[in-house]
């Protein structure tokens, strides 16, 4: 009886999402309640961790010896009460997604890139940064919220607001919708894919499912955003969607819209040495990318801000908006998200060059940092890249891999990663020292060791 009433009172603090989860997933209910009870066994957990964090504060100067990525992430998840699986579970509960899963079966065995994207999303290995929602929540918790926020808005157990949790979900939905929309295959009649009669139907069907799934996620994000009742946040996050779509138009593209670098010498090296960023006062203004084309580092930054940094940065910023934090702290949050995304991207870009020979069938982006840096060092590489104008698959990746390893590009990429890592860590110092901030630092440090 006592247990029941305990459960009831706990139920009141469940987020809407969890309620829906409870209502729909009766079989999962049992395990779920078990989890809840387990959490209740540690009623003073948060006070406990806060003492830990003050202890950690003293240790900040001496970081733990080894940075294990998985450990850093799972500890961070615990801090914000955010199991990674919850998003995928919720997905399976909606009619539309159940429908998609059914249709996806027909695509199994086909070469549609949607399958690859789906696999990539489901088997979330250590090398995919699924944890964007997690980052948003950690930043939210690290910043705390204004005293004016009413109690009902707060998820006391995790130290973040319900609205921030919803925003974190929106962030992931938007990111996944972009990935899914990006797996649409160009079936124009003039392309190779469009002429392959054998696979045309599969491809066309895959496009349909991919398009609708992405639209479903976008539609639901916009509904969830609207329910946050904060129009500045809606504006900001919508602009991140805009940035995503803009990112797919920059520079030359092959038939399947894979990016190719500009021909060296197309642009005069711009004189400005500072990077460009969005206009802080008007979200409608697009990234002034034309100013930096020709400068490999800044061009890379711009491409990847549009492609990744914008959403993570703007989500962190929006989350602090929801918490009623100052404009200044909001800007710090944006910068943190942006630099973290950049550091992560640099790390991903460097990865194919970590071993002396390229693994079989492995490829890399032709606008990744090592390629752009190498082109600056040796413009003659462009002759090789030009072969990819119809399809990037026509390129001899092994040869380029070898050339890049022989040059200074990899070192420059590592330097780039360090630069953004340092910038992210520096911005973090504007946040009070908490377990959440420590978790963010751990994630960044673990990323460096990957």
Partner 1 sequence: MACLTTSGRLACGSRRQQTHKFLCQLFAVRCQSLSTSTSVSSSSSLASSAYPLQRQRQQQQQQQLRRGFHGLSFSIGQDYLDLLQNPHSCSHHLKYSQCSKTNLRQHSSVHTQQPAGPVREIQIDPYIILDDELKYFYDDVRDLLQSGTSQPELDTIASYYFDGQGKALRPMVTMLMAKAINYHLNNESHQLVHKQRQIALFSEMVHSASLVHDDVIDQSDFRRGKPSVNALWNHKKVTMAGDYILSIASIMIARLRSDDVTIVLSKILTDLVQGEFMQLGSRETENERFAHYLTKTYRKTASLIANALKATAVIAQADDNVAELAFQYGRNIGLAFQLVDDMLDFVSSTEQMGKPTAADLKLGLATAPVLFACEKYPELNPMVMRRFSEPGDVERAFELVHKSHGLEQTRFLAKKHCNEAIRLAQELTESPYQKGLQVVADLVINRMK
For residue 99, state whether it binds partner 1 (rule: CB under 8 A): yes
Sign, Cα dihedral of 22, 26, 31, 33: positive
332 with 427: CB under 8 angstroms? yes
Does position 90 interact with partner 1 (CB under 8 A)? The reply is no
Measured from the CB atom, the residue of 293 and 447 that comes closer to partner 1 is 293
Say whether residue 252 binds partner 1 (CB under 8 A): no
Rank residues 142 and 241 by Cβ distance to partner 1 and give the closer one.
241
Question: Cα-flanking dihedrals φ and ψ of residue 285, to 5°?
Answer: -65, 125
In the set 229, 263, 387, 418, which binds partner 1 (CB under 8 A)? 229
Contacts 24+ apart (CB under 8 A), 184-190: 184/210, 184/211, 185/112, 185/113, 185/256, 186/255, 186/256, 186/257, 188/255
Angstrom distance (rounded) from CA 291 to CA 279: 14
Question: What DSSP character marks residue 90?
Answer: H
Q: What is the DSSP letter of 308?
A: I
Residue 162 binds partner 1 (CB under 8 A): no
187 binds partner 1, rule: CB under 8 A? yes
Query: What's the min distance (Å) between Cβ of 235 and partner 1?
Result: 4
Longest dimension (CA), the chain: 77
**Residue 260, φ and ψ in degrees, nearest 5:** -120, 150
Residue 204 near partner 1 by CB under 8 A: yes
- Residue nearer to partner 1 on the CB measure, 249 or 324: 249
Is 182 a binder of partner 1 (CB under 8 A)?
Answer: yes
Q: Binder to partner 1 among 114, 166, 250, 375 (CB under 8 A)?
A: 250
**Residue 271 has which token pair?**
């004189």
Residue 312: name the closest of 340, 292, 290 by CA: 340
- The three-state secondary structure class of 228 is coil
Q: How far is the CB of 121 from partner 1 (least distance, A)?
A: 18
Select 225 or 340, whichever has its Cβ closest to partner 1. Answer: 225
Among 140, 239, 330, 442, binds partner 1 (CB under 8 A): 239
Binding flag, residue 386, partner 1 (CB under 8 A)? no
Closest among 418, 410, 416 to 449, alpha carbons compared: 418
Please identify, using beta-carbon distances, which residue of 127 and 279 lies nearer to partner 1: 279
Choose, by CB under 8 A, the member of 10, 20, 120, 253 that binds partner 1: 253
**Contact between 159 and partner 1 per CB under 8 A:** no
235 in contact with partner 1 (CB under 8 A): yes
Q: Which of 214, 296, 313, 337 binds partner 1 (CB under 8 A)?
A: 214
Q: How far apart are CA 389 and CA 256, in angstroms?
A: 10
Closest approach, Cβ 110 to partner 1, in A, equals 17
CA dist 419 and 412 (Å) reads: 10
Structure-block tokens of residue 41: 């066994």
Residues in Cβ contact with 390 at an 8 Å cutoff, skipping those fewer than 6 apart: 192, 254, 255
Task: Report how far Cα 391 is from the mean position of its chain's Cα atoms.
Answer: 27
Given a contact cutoff of 8 angstroms between Cβ atoms, the answer to whether 185 and 363 are in contact is no
For position 151 contacting partner 1 by CB under 8 A, the verdict is no
Which residue in the set 124, 238, 384, 391 belongs to the binding site for partner 1 (CB under 8 A)? 238
24 contributes a contact to partner 1 by CB under 8 A: no
Per-residue tokens: 392: 């990037």
Q: For 260, which DSSP code?
A: E
Site for partner 1 in 268-287 (CB under 8 A): 283-287
| Binding residues among 322-381 for partner 1 as defined by CB under 8 A | none
Footprint of partner 1 (CB under 8 A): 95-96, 99, 103, 177-178, 181-182, 184-189, 204, 207-208, 211-212, 214-216, 218-220, 222-223, 225-227, 229-232, 234-235, 238-239, 241-242, 244-246, 248-250, 253, 255-257, 283-290
């Amino acid at each position: 009886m006592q247990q029941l009433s305990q459960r009831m009172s706990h139920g009141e603090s469940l987020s809407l999402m969890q309620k829906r989860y409870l209502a729909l997933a009766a079989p999962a209910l049992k395990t779920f309640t078990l989890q809840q009870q387990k959490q209740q066994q540690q009623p003073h957990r948060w006070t406990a961790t806060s003492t830990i964090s003050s202890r950690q504060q003293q240790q900040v100067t001496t970081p733990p010896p080894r940075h294990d990525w998985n450990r850093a992430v799972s500890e961070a998840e615990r801090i914000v009460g955010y199991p990674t699986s919850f998003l995928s579970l919720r997905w399976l509960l909606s009619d539309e997604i159940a429908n998609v899963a059914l249709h996806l079966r027909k695509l199994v065995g086909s070469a549609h890139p949607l399958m690859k994207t789906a696999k990539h999303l489901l088997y979330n290995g250590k090398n995919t940064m699924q944890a964007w929602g997690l980052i948003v929540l950690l930043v939210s918790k690290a910043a705390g919220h204004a005293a004016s926020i009413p109690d009902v808005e707060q998820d006391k157990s995790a130290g973040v607001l319900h609205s921030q949790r919803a925003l974190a979900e929106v962030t992931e939905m938007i990111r996944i919708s972009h990935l899914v929309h990006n797996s649409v295959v160009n079936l124009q009649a003039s392309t190779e894919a469009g002429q392959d009669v054998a696979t045309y139907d599969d491809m066309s069907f895959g496009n349909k499912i991919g398009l609708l799934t992405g639209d479903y996620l976008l539609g639901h994000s916009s509904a969830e955003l609207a329910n946050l009742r904060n129009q500045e946040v809606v504006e900001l996050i919508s602009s991140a969607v805009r940035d995503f779509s803009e990112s797919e138009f920059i520079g030359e593209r092959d038939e399947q819209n894979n990016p190719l670098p500009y021909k060296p010498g197309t642009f005069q090296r711009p004189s400005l040495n500072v990077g460009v960023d969005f206009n802080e006062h008007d979200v409608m203004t697009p990234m002034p990318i034309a100013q930096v084309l020709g400068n490999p580092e800044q061009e890379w930054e711009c491409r990847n801000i549009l492609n990744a940094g914008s959403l993570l940065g703007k989500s962190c910023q929006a989350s602090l908006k929801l918490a009623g934090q100052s404009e200044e702290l909001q800007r710090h949050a944006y910068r943190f998200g942006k630099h973290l995304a950049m550091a992560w991207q640099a790390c991903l870009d460097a990865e194919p060059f970590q071993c002396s020979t390229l693994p079989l069938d492995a490829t890399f982006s032709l606008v990744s940092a090592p390629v752009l840096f190498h082109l600056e060092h040796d413009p003659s590489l462009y002759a090789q890249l030009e072969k990819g104008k119809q399809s990037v698959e026509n390129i001899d990746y092994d040869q380029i891999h070898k050339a890049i390893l022989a040059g200074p590009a990899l070192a420059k990429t590592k330097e780039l990663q360090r630069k953004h890592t340092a910038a992210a860590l520096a911005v973090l110092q504007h946040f009070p020292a908490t377990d959440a901030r420590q978790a963010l630092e751990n994630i960044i440090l673990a990323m460096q060791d990957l």
